[in-house]
Structure 1
Amino acid sequence: MSGFRHSLTGETLVPLTFIKEDSVRNFTTIIVGGGPHGVMLLRQLQARGAQQDEIAIVDSRPLLHWWRERLHDCDTQWLRSGPEHHVDAPVASSLRSFARERGREDEFATDAHRPMVSLFNDHASHVIERSGLERQRIAAVAHGFSRLPNGTLLLRTSEGSLATRHLVLATGPGGPFYPRWATRLGSSRVCHIFDQTFERSSLEPGCRVILIGGGISGVQVALALAEAGHQVTVLTRRVIGVSATTTPEDWTAARLAQMTALPYEQRFEMLQGAGDKGTLPSWEQQRLAEALRSRTIVHRVCNIESIRSEGADVCVYIAGGRPDVERAHTVVLGTGFIRDLPEWLRTSARNLNLPLTPSGAPILEPSLEWGTGSCIYLMGAGSAPVLGPYAANLIGGMLGSERIAVSIVSESSCAPRG
């Protein structure tokens, strides 16, 4: 959709004559992304009096669909988060009350009272149904956003355009990250645990599998494959670290205040290596240690030089001074997510001149608004310079949803543009 540049702000504006009025649905707030963060914000806005017809949440699949799929694919049984971190964000005791009323209090772990995934998901389904959240979902894929001359934001989707005063981007993590040496192979025998098509059950019984990556999701998949009778070798670049929970003592309010006092670009240095990314909680480390003792899993610390297909095998060549190769029928990557924002989002942000660091990261206000007065908010990993290293986790969704809801309801940061 073409447009013109605002003489003062430089933003790309879309003339009203380009939009058919009867083809655009209007909302006060649109949330892009139906994962835990998006659902938390929906509940926060509801609790502050927002009406159902004022808010839409855009996702092509039912709420929490990809969250459930990912946990199932990784065979995740327990969450790292505590009982107060759940989708019913305005009510801290909601998950505990749900468990108590149904006699399921034994589904909290004895350490830190972490919930089982099944309990968390059942509670989430209860909240979504009780609050009618699914009725607010528009089944569509977001393609971009722009601003009309009157200041209204226009979200373009696969099902048409939507107009809104406030736009919240809760798109979750990026796509699966494929290292360069993996993309060169182009083989169907190399897959990623976060591919939407990944299915552990599709592997032939008893096959040899190399899993590359030592974070919690990768190790959980390795353990599940070993338990299913596959021969599993785990390759990691470094010794697998251990981190107990998503709220360790080193990130207190004082630590967060220290970070947010820094210039925005310098905050990333403080975030380097912080948080639980690429680590195992102690209970999963114990499971892995037992698998290593019993030799149902083999673990090597090494650097990978290349991957090649040789006959019936996929060969992983290890960097070093001597020939060293690991062979398998299938290579499974647990190498995390792409860090960059989706292309449609980056293009839209550039067109609206939303503030970015020299390295291209979004610059957010304390309310998580992307630039003062933009009425555009960002949740998830991109909010780490404001919320800390756990911004992409459930606790980040709890903190972020409250800040955004307060900002939206107050209207103070979103004066109409003329």
Structure 2
Amino acid sequence: MYDVVIIGAGPHALSLLSRMLINTPDKYEERPDNKSLFFKNKSGVYKTKVKDNPQTRNTPRQLSTYLRKGGVIDENVLNNICVIDRHGGWMTQWSKQFDALGISHLRSTSSIHPDAFDLHTLVQFAEDHRREGELLEIDGGIRGSKFTGPFIVPSLGLFWDFCKSVVKRHKLEDFVTKGFVTRLLPKDGGYDVCLASGDVIVAKQVVVATGNIGVKRIPGWARDVYDGCVDGSLLHTWDIINNSDATGIHTSDVCKQMVKLNMRNPINNTGNTVVIVGGGLSSAHLVVKAAMSGADQIHLVCRSSIKVRQFDLELEWIGRSRFIKLADFYSMKSFEKRSHVVRSSRGGGSITPYVHQQLVKLQESGRLIIHEDTEVWECNKDENHWSIQLSNGHMVDCYIIWLATGSIVDVTMNPLFCDVIKELPINIIDDLPVLTDDLEWGCGSGLYVMGALGGLVLGPDALNLAGARGGASRIAHRLKC
């Protein structure tokens, strides 16, 4: 029996182990009991002590020494912990997802990463390796009183190499067990972690750190045709990512293969036409990938108007007023109100200014047509092509449809929690579980949840890298007790 089993080996799990291994306290741990950041007034309302952006507590020389030699870590923490991931390696699914969508830079700023030693280790890593050119400075008109910077985001390659260095410094290279967890069964004194292979791993405590494990959101008009489409001409974003995962092919290869197949199609005006449904960043990246792969005509169908903003949250959650927003969130005793904040602060899909510029160029070239405030009314397949009726009156014939319609985050639809909900019932509000302040599934259960399902405790960026860092700080001290 393991003391702790961590399900998933993405940035949430890596952030957790980093926080557990590094003994140095972090002034900026986002927990209501962190007295360096928050205090309760006489009315029981949380307030923040910090009014400026987080600052490093180390000199560049100290950061470089840590990056080169590693810091003081508590290796005893690892004695009886098991990390299980279906790929058998750190952040493999995360990397494949970014690669499949052709994402060049992260959306989060350079201070948000899994290394618990210091917020500025990523920037120092770039400087030490002479890779400052991979730190992209962004502005795009977002500078203001709510956030004055820094506006620096790392490239995917830089962030990936930095995370590999975190794994190496913490001596976690061969720490991940390959396995796909299908069920989580509560039992006296712990849990049975059931794998698809039939093996069962027994644990006293479990951390579910699987990131975005929501159910694919399939629009109503596509449900009848989606399941029956086996030729690859109608795919959800996660299908594209999983195809890349399973076969080693990437989005561009998928696109090229489809275009090549469709060149045999005698129907006019459909051969190189792609329809992408969705209005978020994933849909925009797929537009660019389709164009790069040879699609002559691309239709982007958006249910609402396109929102252009650098971050996927309201700006107050990113800048120096973040701690004020968190204090207000922690003060809310009503989880219904917290749920409203979580959903309203994200405000649906949005596109970064950089990617939006690429869409504008494709529009100007005539290769991209954007249908805003438009829905698909009807979709039919005739032989080897699709006919799509849009609510704006346009009819589009195409061979490829990609659904960039996101996921449904609903704990009741997650197979890992089916038995847990029955055996250890807790309140569920708007599909999210009401966890303890330490992200535990009820006091004393020994089950902890990271990622989007922790939104009622962590706030609207629970799924993001900031949520990984915040979640790690809450769970780590419990697991080390």
Q: Same fold (TM over 0.5)?
A: yes
Q: How many Å separate the matches in 2 of 1:104 and 1:276?
A: 34
Alignment-mate amino acid for residue 390 of structure 2: I
Q: Are 1:59 and 2:111 matched, yes or no?
A: no
Aligned to 2:14: 39
Aligned to 1:119: 158
Aligned to 2:389: 317
Query: CA offset at residue 169 of structure 1?
Result: 0.7
Q: How many Å separate the matches in 1 of 2:220 and 2:273?
A: 23
Cα distance change on mapping 1:220 and 1:359 into 2, 3 Å: closer
Q: Are 1:86 and 2:113 matched, yes or no?
A: yes
Determine if contact 1:73/1:221 at 8 Å carries over to the other structure: no
Cα distance change on mapping 1:294 and 1:94 into 2, 3 Å: same
**Residues 261-410 of structure 1 aligned to structure 2 (within 5 Å):** 261-275=332-346, 277-301=348-372, 302-319=374-391, 324-341=394-411, 342-357=413-428, 359-409=430-480
Aligned to 1:197: 243
SS of the counterpart of 2:389?
Answer: strand
Alignment-mate amino acid for residue 53 of structure 1: N
Q: How many Å separate the matches in 2 of 1:91 and 1:311?
A: 58
Normalising by structure 1, we get a TM-score of: 0.86
Determine if contact 2:432/2:455 at 8 Å carries over to the other structure: no
Q: How many Å separate the matches in 2 of 1:60 and 1:108?
A: 31
Unaligned runs of 5+ in 1: 1-25, 412-418
Query: CA offset at residue 277 of structure 1?
Result: 4.5
Query: CA offset at residue 246 of structure 1?
Result: 5.2
Deviations 1:142-192 (A, max 9, x none): 12223333x223322235222223211112212432223212112231011
Deviations 1:3-35 (A, max 9, x none): xxxxxxxxxxxxxxxxxxxxxxx2222111111
Determine if contact 1:53/1:136 at 8 Å carries over to the other structure: no
**Residues 174-253 of structure 1 aligned to structure 2 (within 5 Å):** 174-185=214-225, 186-187=228-229, 188=231, 189-195=233-239, 196-197=242-243, 199-202=251-254, 203-205=258-260, 207-230=272-295, 231-245=297-311, 248-251=314-317, 252-253=322-323
Q: 2:325 aligns with which of 255, 265, 276?
A: 255
Cα distance change on mapping 1:192 and 1:326 into 2, 3 Å: same
Query: CA offset at residue 126 of structure 1?
Result: 2.2
Aligned to 1:23: none
Aligned to 2:263: none
- Sequence identity of aligned pairs in percent? 24
Normalising by structure 2, we get a TM-score of: 0.75
Q: 1:155 aligns with which of 193, 196, 212?
A: 193
SS of the counterpart of 1:97?
Answer: helix
State the superposition RMSD in angstroms: 2.0
Unaligned runs of 5+ in 2: 24-73, 139-150, 245-250, 261-270
**Residues 12-23 of structure 1 aligned to structure 2 (within 5 Å):** none
